[in-house]
Amino acid sequence: MSSSAWNAILLTIQVSTLATLIIFVPAVLLAWWFARRESVTSHFLFSLFGLPMVLPPTAVGYLLLQLLADEGPMGPVLMGLNLNLLLTWQAAVLAAAVMAFPLVIRTAKVAFENVDSDLEAIGRTLGRGPWSTFATVSLPLASRGLLAAAILGFTRAVGEFGATITVAGNIPGKTQTIASAIYSSQQSGNRTEAAVLVVFALCLGWIAIFCTELLIRRSTIASRQP
């Protein structure tokens, strides 16, 4: 395997893992809130967080670019410090995180919806506050579904292309991920490298989908009332 392919694989795993870790906790908390509170605000926010799923990824990348630009809301002028994110691997993490967020929230929300909310109510009558009930009832009962959410988020991050290439570029050894490496090798006619990367992506994706299916099926059985 060429070193550029190997670099792309390592960087992709690093970027996707970090992106998943960053979004997991906020996504789980928001998903719980969305699953339990039906209000105009929650519907509004839920659809807002879903946008990266329906927008062209390059559009999301463009918006991120505007956000991080010199005059943007997160740019050096308004923030007072220069994050220097553009065209770095950290920008790839940001792009992957934003793109994976809706999928993680949606899967986690379903996991919480499968937990009987009456069980949480019982927890409250037994003297536990809302957070304690969340930690001892909702979280363990949703755990399989939440793990599935994390795996799906990770795979979404692995496959990210449009937003990543817009904010992080496609610099071999620096910001080139599997997706952009496949694109480059295909463009340059390097069929072997493209094939190696495609096979790797295929295996990773297949294992991930298989695990999620297994987890989601088991979680619906486990959280069902006897």
Interface with other proteins by CB under 8 A: which residues?
Answer: 116, 118-119, 121-130, 136-137, 140-141, 222-226
Q: How far is the CB of 149 from other proteins (least distance, A)?
A: 18
Q: Which is nearer to other proteins, 80 or 226 (CB)?
A: 226
Q: Which is nearer to other proteins, 114 or 190 (CB)?
A: 114
Q: What are the structure tokens assigned to 188, written together?
A: 């340059």
Q: How far is the CB of 137 from other proteins (least distance, A)?
A: 6
Q: How far is the CB of 125 from other proteins (least distance, A)?
A: 4
Q: Which is nearer to other proteins, 133 or 190 (CB)?
A: 133
Query: Residue written as tokens 């694109």?
Result: 183
Q: Are 63 and 98 in contact (CB under 8 A)?
A: no
Q: Are 87 and 168 in contact (CB under 8 A)?
A: yes
Q: How far is the CB of 40 from other proteins (least distance, A)?
A: 18
Rounded to 5 degrees, what are φ and ψ at 116? -60, 115
Q: How far is the CB of 139 from other proteins (least distance, A)?
A: 10
Q: Which is nearer to other proteins, 146 or 194 (CB)?
A: 146
Q: Which is nearer to other proteins, 124 or 191 (CB)?
A: 124
Distance from chain centroid for Cα 163: 13
Q: Which is nearer to other proteins, 13 or 139 (CB)?
A: 139
Q: Which is nearer to other proteins, 142 or 152 (CB)?
A: 142
Rounded to 5 degrees, what are φ and ψ at 172? -55, 135
Q: How far is the CB of 133 from other proteins (least distance, A)?
A: 8
Calpha distance 182→214 (Å, rounded) = 30
Helices and strands (H and E) in the chain: how many: 11, 0
Q: How far is the CB of 42 from other proteins (least distance, A)?
A: 17
Class of residue 3 by CB neighbours under 10 A (exposed 0-12, middle 13-18, buried 19+): exposed
- Identity at 134, one-letter amino acid code: F
Calpha distance 210→38 (Å, rounded) = 32
**How far from 127 is each of 124, 133, 182, CA to CA, in Å?**
5, 9, 56
